[in-house]
Amino acid sequence: MAYDAASPSRSAAPSQSDPGQADFKEVLANLAGGVAIISCWDGETPRGLLVSSITGLSVEPPRFLFCVRKEAGCHDALIKASECGVALLAQDDQEEAWRYASSVRAPERFSPERWDLAPSAPPAYRGGLARARCGFDRVIDAGTHSILVVTANASALTPARPLVAWNRGFL
């Protein structure tokens, strides 16, 4: 699609004439999105990762979809799990987001002060903007990633400002 600088629907022309020249990772880094921690059990070990690819898919049934890199440490655990926790993060949860964004900080994850770790349910974050207990519906192969579709069986909302991922940081 060509951009017309005079078009009222476009405020500026793109900075490069050939989108194939852009480093696509940079393009994706500049795509702002909500942030969620996805959690599950791997045997008796809680596992989780931070995603900025989560989106609401439908209200009836209540579904999310999110993408997970196949090389991610908990990808296989998520694929094998029957349920997961979804914690949509609020601005006050930035430190928790960094714990899950960095594999170096993995030992700091799942503190019992911040997480409900009852073995009968997926690990559940006690903070955040919203929390949901979800069952897995479908895994779709998407090259280097898997697209996971989950149905919320229970959810709770705590009104707050959302944490937003943008340009490899948070807003």
Is beta strand 164-166 parallel, antiparallel or unpaired with respect to 33-34? antiparallel
CA distance 50 to 68: 9
Q: What is the pTM of this model?
A: 0.84
Check residue 13 and give its pLDDT: 41
The answer to whether the beta carbons of residues 135 and 40 sit under 8 Å apart is: no
Of 19-28, 88-97, 101-110, which range is least confident? 19-28
Is residue 13 assigned to a domain? no
Q: How large is the average pLDDT for residues 117-133? A: 96
Cα-based distances in Å from 159 to 22, 55, 156: 38, 18, 10
Here the CATH number for the domain that contains residue 86 is 2.30.110.10
pLDDT digits (tens, 9 = 90+) for 47-61: 999 999 999 999 999
Is residue 83 assigned to a domain? yes
The answer to whether residue 91 scores a pLDDT higher than 80 is yes
Is residue 14 assigned to a domain? no
Domain hosting 62: range is 32-170
CA distance 93 to 35: 10
How many domains does the chain divide into?
Answer: 1
pLDDT digits (tens, 9 = 90+) for 14-59: 444 455 546 787 887 787 889 999 999 999 999 999 999 999 999 9
Is residue 119 assigned to a domain? yes
Is residue 41 assigned to a domain? yes
Tokens of 60: 């009836």
